[in-house]
Amino acid sequence: MEDIPSIDNHQNTSGRRKIFLRGLIEFSNRCRKNCYYCGIRAGNRRVERYDMPDDEILQAVDTAWRNRYGSIVLQSGERNSAQFTARVTRLLKKIKTYTNGETGITLACGEQSVDVYRRWFEAGAHRYLLRIETASRSLYARLHPDNATHRFDARLTALRNLKDIGYLTGTGVMIGLPFQTADDLAADLLFFQKMDVDMVGMGPYIEHSDTPLYRYRHMLLPPARRLELSLQMIADLRRLMPHINIAAATALQALHPTGREQAIRAGANVFMPNLTPAKYRAQYRLYDNKPCLDEAPLRCHHCVASRIGMTGCEIGYGEWGDRR
């Protein structure tokens, strides 16, 4: 693979690229949506739904904090109840207090109203991830039910609101979707650029047997090609946006054991070790073959350090690693 351009604020003095860690906590798999590709869609009755209690979440935060991960990502399905909003608000404040405000908090809890986004921002979240999934309006329509809960425009508006409020805003897409064309992928890259996003998390689409999109699996590129395409997208995006944060998506590792390390070599600079307790992981299966399902969080922790070591990069311990 060719050399990627240097990411100037993300290098140490010896010129080795820095990789930032974000401990991923999948704190609830309840979701009101029915995205056709996703294993935890509301319509999938085979999923046992959970909400991690606060003390378990704080324990995961503690693991991140003690191991000097600069930040955590709190991810869940999409819910809009007042209770959920209040719960997340409370949780953010607790985490801020617990870590003396030192741990950066990224939220990934779907589309919410401006008010909710603002409340969470004021409670201490400073980054938000909301994947556009595809920048193509027509492809988006094929991947989601045609109703008011799944509107492309609402997603765009949500992204703009996040930016206006002041969040460092991340988005992303799936790569290798059925019906997706090379033009669609090029449009995705231009979309990131036009939106001037701070972070991108994009990874291969991987089929899940309990989802409606599964019946189009014969249209998919073989795993090796889908991996290659995903790595190519990361390399292209790094050229296009040298200073943003690009995540090495977990889904890459479902296609190849070293998929995430390959993403780092291609230009990704964010790695998200999974800190979700082992007992919940099988219930947060967005796609088949999701890696680390049986692993304890600490095993992922050690594994991640050696994985990053193999790429010749170094870990930015204790750093938020925000785009300048």
Residues at the interface with ligand SF4 (CB under 6 A): 31, 33, 35, 38, 40-41, 77-78, 110
- Residue whose pair of structure tokens reads 């010896």 in the numeric block: 14
Shortest distance (Å) from residue 292 CB to ligand FES: 3
| Segment lying near ligand FES (by CB under 6 A), choices 45-53, 219-227, 235-243, 295-303 | 295-303
Nearest to 72 by CA among 294, 276, 268, 303: 276
* Beta carbon of residue 92, minimum distance to ligand 5AD (angstroms, whole number): 19
Region of residue 47 (phi > 0: left; psi between -120 and 50: alpha; otherwise: beta): beta
Which one of residues 69, 120, 167, 205 is an interface residue with ligand 5AD (CB under 6 A)?
205
Selection from ligand FES, ligand 5AD, ligand SF4, none that 303 binds (CB < 5 to 8 A by kind) is ligand FES
Phi/psi-derived region of residue 267, left when phi > 0, alpha when psi is between -120 and 50, beta in every other case: left
Of 70 and 178, nearer to ligand FES (C-beta) is 70
Question: How far is C-alpha 213 from the chain's CA centre?
Answer: 21
* 305 is an interface residue for ligand FES by CB under 6 A: no
Are 73 and 275 contacting, i.e. CB atoms less than 8 angstroms apart? no
User: How deeply is 114 buried, as exposed, middle or buried, from its count of CB atoms within 10 A (0-12, 13-18, 19+)?
Assistant: middle
Side chain identity at residue 168, one-letter code:
L
Partner from ligand 5AD, ligand SF4, ligand FES, none binding residue 248, C-beta < 5-8 Å depending on class: none
Among 292, 308, 313, 315, binds ligand FES (CB under 6 A): 292
Give the Cα separation of 205 and 223 in Å (integer): 10
304 is a site residue for ligand FES (CB under 6 A) = yes
| Candidate segments 16-24, 152-160, 190-198, 292-300, binder of ligand FES by CB under 6 A | 292-300
The yes or no reply on residue 278 touching ligand FES (CB under 6 A) is no
